Amino acid sequence: MIIKNIIQILRELTKQKLRTFLTLFGIFWGTTSVILLLSFGMAVKANTSKTMHGMGEQICIIWAGRTSISYGGFPKGRNLSWYNDDAQYLKDNVQLIDDISPQYSRHVSVNVGSKKQYFSVNAVWPDFKEMRNMVPREGSRFLNPLDQEKRRRVVFIGNEVEKTMFGEEDAVGKIMYIGGTPFTVIGVIIKKEQDGSYNGRDKDAIFMPTSTYLGIYGDRFVDNMVVRAKDVNKTEEMKHAIINAMAKKYRFSPEDEQALPIWDTTEMDQFLNTFFNGFTIFLGIVGVMTLIVGGIGIANIMYVIVEERTSEIGVKRAIGAKKRLILFQYLVETFIIASVGSISGFLFSLLLMFAINKAPIEDFVGVLKFNPTIAFTSILIISAITFVAGWGPAKRASTLDPVVAING
Amino acid sequence: MIKMDNIRKVYNTGKIEVEALRGLDLHIKKGEFITVIGPSGSGKSTLMNIMGCLDKPTTGEYRLNGKSIKQLNDNELSELRNHEIGFVFQNFNLLPYASAYENVEMPLLFAGVGGKMRKRKVEYILNKVGLSDRMDHRPNELSGGQKQRVAIARALVNDPNIILADEPTGNLDSHSGKEIMELFVNLWKEGNTIVMITHDPRAKDYTDNLVNITDGCIV
Ligand SMILES: Nc1ncnc2c1ncn2[C@@H]1O[C@H](COP(=O)(O)OP(=O)(O)OP(=O)(O)O)[C@@H](O)[C@H]1O
Ligand SMILES: [Mg+2]
């Protein structure tokens, strides 16, 4: 009996093409737009977070400043500089430091074959890699301790440097002249999104060991240092320890805010966290709104359809259909329509995501990812709305005296 | 077969109360052909709907085959409509998306009749009303007379005890109206009990059992 009924329902559904199509399309479209919209939001969020962290996560950049408080017999306004051994000094004296690297930087003319161009040439320690997200392309590497120890003439270069100097060729293993001295390229950075920077983007820079650099240029002072705390939550403490250590060594007041300027990216992270919490709430609201709009549309269609069916239900009742049969038919019908509609909407949204990911907009919105929670809650809610919107009128129509239902 | 005593029906549309039937008595025996006539708005359809269990009287006692309608629950009423009453509407009330065959088959589906039996019955009855060559047509592909034949076939398919027809020829031209009337007369001659509302002045040519309703009362 039940199977016979379902067959009959399917038959009725296929016969009422326009009606079935409209409902199916409403549910299909509702599902697609909700899933897509929320996936867009999530992608933008993930992408923003990624590019914001392109420079590195939870690091501090330290510069040398100028005193603003007279201290220890020195007048204020004294220019400070950090020496080559200060990075080692801090590493030895501040326990909270996990990684540290000095950084030297200068513009030098670089040539390969007949091509000649100025680039920012930097000298750093191997620790720089982890702190500043210097991810080498496959088949290449960053500077290592041995390069440092042996003063090798090797460089790690930005992907744009490679493009400018070597065109489409692979630079790894090739020779590049920096200020007239030949260097071997040992690594190229992978393409990365980077919003924050302090001396140019990494894609346009060249990195070499500090030992090699100092051997050639003989700088006395570092340009800046990059440090990271062992525990992110101790970053504040570490900064204080660094200031105290340097204040002791260079005799400036530990209270002097301008003597040792620090850019703490964890501060930005805190801002970003707040921002992302806001963004998540925003996304949630957008999602709920979309669901409501989609739901209203579907509810509307469902309502109109069941109302329109009232007289048909009346006719069926007049020729002997029982109440529970009418309701059972409604249930099965809604189940079929809601599942076919939402599953096809779901598949279509996957297809659209795939297509969108192929389009050259990755830099702005990132990569759309399928999020099962979003998909299944959307499908569930939309199906529930479909069901609820139709249930009332269907129940009413089945309860009316047949003649009342027939006459609407 | 039908015993109606002191039937009243009051429609309550907002402020106005319309008393469509005012204490009406009607007894119908098996095998009778009753023709109900009367001016428009006199309550003929109202009476017919109550007789067909499509509507309930406000007060009064209606017994069909000895059963008091008041005492039946919704399921029992559905079964009654399905098995014992064949109702033919003025405007056919066919399901537009279903073929003639499927429309006629529907009461059998509700009755839970098996597949082979259904096929046999539907084909037999469509043949009887002269539509064996139109079985797969949908209502909008049929003429008015043909539609009414489908509706009559649907009313007959479950072998009802009584056939109720509310102006079955009202929407038809005189030629197909005449054919439908003849169909009913033949059904009556085969032993069916029939109650029919009509405006047709020739009604008395077919039957001498005339019920005249005016202002909700039999006169
Ligand atoms: N659903 C309803 N609500 C309110 N009043 C109604 C309703 N149905 C019928 N009436 C009223 O009841 C009275 C009887 O109507 P009914 O349809 O029984 O007349 P009828 O004799 O069948 O007329 P006709 O020959 O035009 O079909 C009319 O005054 C009509 O307006
Ligand atoms: Mg009428």
Residue from A319, A395, A399, A406 whose CB has the most chain B CBs within 10 Å, to mutate: A319
**From the CA of A405, how many Å to the nearest CA of chain B?**
10
pLDDT one-digit tens code per residue, A325-338: 988 888 888 888 88
Is the model's pLDDT at A404 over the cut of 80? yes
- On the question of pLDDT at A345 being above 70, the answer is yes
Q: Which atom of ligand 1 lies at the shortest distance from residue A407's CA?
A: 1
CA B47 to ligand 1: nearest atom: 18
What's the pLDDT score for residue A4?
Answer: 67
A12 Cβ under 8 Å from any chain B Cβ? yes
Cα separations in angstroms, A232 against A48, A66, A236, B69: 21, 28, 9, 82
pLDDT in tens, B97-155: 889 999 999 999 999 998 899 999 999 999 999 999 999 999 999 999 999 999 999 99
Rounded Cα–Cα distance for residues A327 and A395 (Å): 7
Q: How far is A392 from chain B (nearest CA, A)?
A: 19
Closest C-alpha to ligand 1, atom 11: B20
How far does chain A reach from its first CA to its final CA, in angstroms?
Answer: 29
CA of B82: which chain A residue's CA is closest?
A320
User: Is the domain of A330 the same as that of A181?
Assistant: no
Identify from B51, B56, B97 which residue to disrupt to test chain A contact, counting A C-beta atoms within 10 A and taking the largest count: B97
Residue pair B43/B10 in contact (Cβ under 8 Å)? The answer is no
Question: In the prediction, which pLDDT does B202 show?
Answer: 75
Cβ contacts of residue B107 below 8 Å, gap of 6+?
A: A319, A320, B82, B154, B157, B158
Q: Is A51 a residue whose pLDDT tops 70?
A: no
β-bridge mates for residue A157, sequence order:
A188, A206
Same domain, A226 and A289: no
List of chain A residues whose C-beta atoms are within 8 Å of the C-beta of residue B139: none
| Host domain of residue A198 | 60-263
Per the structure, the count of domains in chain A is 2
- Rounded distance between C-alpha atoms, residue A270 and residue A249, angstroms: 32
**B209: burial class by Cβ within 10 Å (0-12, 13-18, 19+)?**
middle
Please check whether residue A101 is in contact with residue A124, taking contact to mean a CB–CB distance below 8 angstroms.
yes
Out of A263, A290, A306, a domain closes at A263
Pick the last residue of a domain from A263, A288, A319: A263
Q: Give percent above pLDDT 70 in chain A.
A: 96
A11 pLDDT more than 80: no
Domain residue spans of chain B: 2-218
Residue A398 corresponds to which tokens in the numbers above? 């089945």
**Concatenated DSSP letters for B128-192?**
HTT-TT-TT--GGGS-HHHHHHHHHHHHHTT--SEEEEESTTTTS-HHHHHHHHHHHHHHHHTT-
Residue-wise pLDDT for B1-28, tens only, equals 899 999 999 998 888 899 999 999 999 9
Give how far A348 is from chain B: nearest CA, Å. Answer: 30
Q: Which residues of A touch B55 (CB under 8 A)?
A: 401-404
Q: How many CB atoms lie within 10 A of CB B134?
A: 19
- A129: CB partners within 8 A, 6+ apart: A142, A143
Domain end marker among A229, A247, A263: A263
Q: State both tokens at B73.
A: 């629950």
pLDDT value at residue A265: 84
Q: How far is Cα A182 from Cα A188, in angstroms, rounded to an integer?
A: 17
The contacts of residue A355 (CB under 8 Å, 6+ apart) are none
d(CA A73, CA A350) in angstroms, rounded, equals: 70
User: What pLDDT sits at residue A195?
Assistant: 67
- Shared domain for A325 and A374, answered yes or no, is yes
Task: Check: CB of residue B196 under 8 Å from CB of residue B168.
Answer: yes
State both tokens at B83.
Answer: 């098995």
CA nearest A177: which of A123, A87, A112?
Answer: A112
Pocket-forming residues, ligand 1, beta carbon under 6 Å: B 11, 13, 18, 20, 38, 40-46
Does the pLDDT value for residue A156 go beyond 60?
yes
> How many Å lie between the alpha carbon of B48 and the closest alpha carbon of chain A?
11
Q: Which ligand is nearest to the CA of B24?
A: 1
A320 and B52: CB-CB below 8 Å?
no
Q: What is the mean pLDDT of residues B75-95?
A: 94
Ligand 1: residue of B16, B21, B46, B195 to mutate (most ligand atoms within 8 A of CB) is B46
Among residues of chain A, what percentage have pLDDT more than 90?
Answer: 43
Q: Which CATH class is domain B2-218?
A: alpha beta
| Residues A252 and A118 grouped into a single domain | yes
Neighbours of B183 (CB within 10 A): 18
CB A318 to CB B55 under 8 A?
A: no
* Record: contact B55-A325, CB cut-off 8 A: no
Q: In angstroms, rounded to a whole number, what is the distance separating the alpha carbons of residues A86 and A102? A: 8
Higher pLDDT, A175 or A296: A175
For residue A6, give the H/E element and its range.
Answer: helix A2-15
First and final CA of chain B: distance in angstroms? 21
Helix (H) or strand (E) holding A380, with range, is helix A372-399
A400 and chain B: CB distance < 8 Å anywhere?
A: no
Does one domain contain both A209 and A246? yes
Set of chain A residues whose Cβ sits within 8 Å of the Cβ of B106: 316, 319
Rounded CA-CA distance A26/A301 in Å is 8
Predicted confidence (pLDDT) per residue in A207-246, tens digit: 999 999 999 999 999 999 999 999 888 889 999 999 999 9
- Can you tell me which residue has the tokens 């102006």? B167
